[in-house]
Amino acid sequence: MIEPVYAPSPNRYETMAYRRCGRSGIQLPALSLGLWHNFGSYKPFQDVKAMAHYAFDKGICHFDLANNYGPEYGTAEENFGRLMEVSFRPYRDELFISTKAGWDMWPGPYGNFGSRKYLMASLDQSLRRMKLDYVDIFYSHRWDPETPIEETMQALVDAVRQGKALYVGLSRYPADKAQEAYRYLASHDVPCLLYQDRYNIMDRVPQEKGLIDLCHEHGAGFIAFSPLQQGLLTGRYLNGVPADSRMARRGTSLREEMLTPGMLEALKALNELALQRGQSLAQMSLAWLLNDSRVTSVIIGASSVSQLADNLTTLNNTTFSATELQRIEELSAPIQLR
């Protein structure tokens, strides 16, 4: 049986909200799709395709990747390359595609951190896997304490000048190093477009360390990942740890000891507040981020089309009363994850 050619919804831009990315010409959807855990070799390609098609049909035109996304390393980019071949090629100019390099990718001294050799080789590999001539934004995925920041930033500058990336970004940099990076990039006429970090109700480090304000100061946008703290803010753990959950699996960053009695009590109270707002805990958690006008976009992950649809419902209500915000603060401030 010949599969029909993909044709996106003609109404795909009518319901999504778009936000200006710092002082740039770019607007991003309020919700972007991250291809971190559920788009690699362990996921049937038909499921990957269904989620990507649904996202684009709903106006999500930003797809966030990295060289080592999978699992296994590189396979999320390979699957995106398959999507380009079977679905997205005619719509390339409507898509905003990111990738990153900085974490371990291959053995030896040149497959990690922030050297020019690693960043340039990784970008070339990413482009081949994704079947692209260029990415819209290439990130330095983390600060490298052993490599001069000038070397790392010049590699980003040269990626743009070589036509392999249109914009550059930073991820998970300390505030003082981000400040240095912003200045170097701006002085070489390749200003930082986006700063990416973990940010959610339970982890407010970017806010507390001044990183979000620093983005605004330098004209960069801020994009949040892990908005649901890898499922902790979905309501999945309100009655303990399910046997098939990520927290129940060893070797993940979501550890069972995080679910203390105090954490569980706070999650239940937050869930009750969400229900009063007519939302799930996950929807309220996404809305809390989007209530902040300094947040350009929130990267959501999904394991199914229904989960994507549920997350998109968040856009129906992203405003909070002062009382609601105060209640969230009271409940979450004592149990922040550092």
The strand pair at 62-64 and 295-300 is best described as unpaired
Answer yes or no: is 2 within a domain: no
Answer yes or no: is 267 within a domain: no
Of residues 43 and 237, more confidently modeled: 43
Phi-psi region of 142 (alpha: psi -120 to 50; beta: other; left: phi over 0): beta
Contact in structure between 198 and 212 (CB atoms under 8 Å) = no
Query: Whose CA is closest to 179, among 198, 168, 192?
Result: 192
Residues 6 or more apart whose Cβ sits within 8 Å of residue 264: 237, 238
pLDDT at 173: 98
Number of H helices, E strands in the chain: 11, 10
pLDDT at 244: 60
CA–chain centroid gap for 249, Å, is 23
Residue 338, pLDDT above cutoff 80: no
Helices 149-161 and 175-187 meet at what angle, rounded to 10?
40
DSSP state of 197: E
Distances (CA, A) of 27 to 237, 271, 296: 35, 32, 8
Answer yes or no: is 187 within a domain: yes
pLDDT tens figures, 206-229: 999 999 999 999 999 999 999 999
Residue 72, pLDDT above cutoff 90: yes
Answer yes or no: is 253 within a domain: no
Answer yes or no: is 6 within a domain: no
The label of the residue with tokens 């070397």 reads 151
Does the pTM surpass 0.85? The reply is yes
Range of lowest pLDDT (57-61, 174-178, 264-268): 264-268
Q: How far apart are CA 194 and CA 47, in angstroms?
A: 29
DSSP state of 86: I
CATH number at residue 192: 3.20.20.100
Answer yes or no: is 328 within a domain: no
Residue 170, pLDDT above cutoff 80: yes
Answer yes or no: is 36 within a domain: yes
What type of residue sits at position 168?
V
Q: Which domain, by its residues, includes 56?
A: 18-236+284-318
| Number of structural domains found in the chain | 1
Question: Mean pLDDT, the chain, as a whole number?
Answer: 94
User: Dihedral through CA 50, CA 77, CA 28, CA 89, nearest 10?
Assistant: -70
CA–chain centroid gap for 114, Å, is 20
Per cent of the chain over pLDDT 70 is 95
pLDDT tens figures, 234-254: 988 787 776 666 665 665 666
pLDDT at 274: 98
Mean pLDDT in residue range 289-315: 97
What type of residue sits at position 10?
P
pLDDT at 127: 98
pLDDT at 46: 96
pLDDT at 237: 79
Answer yes or no: is 273 within a domain: no
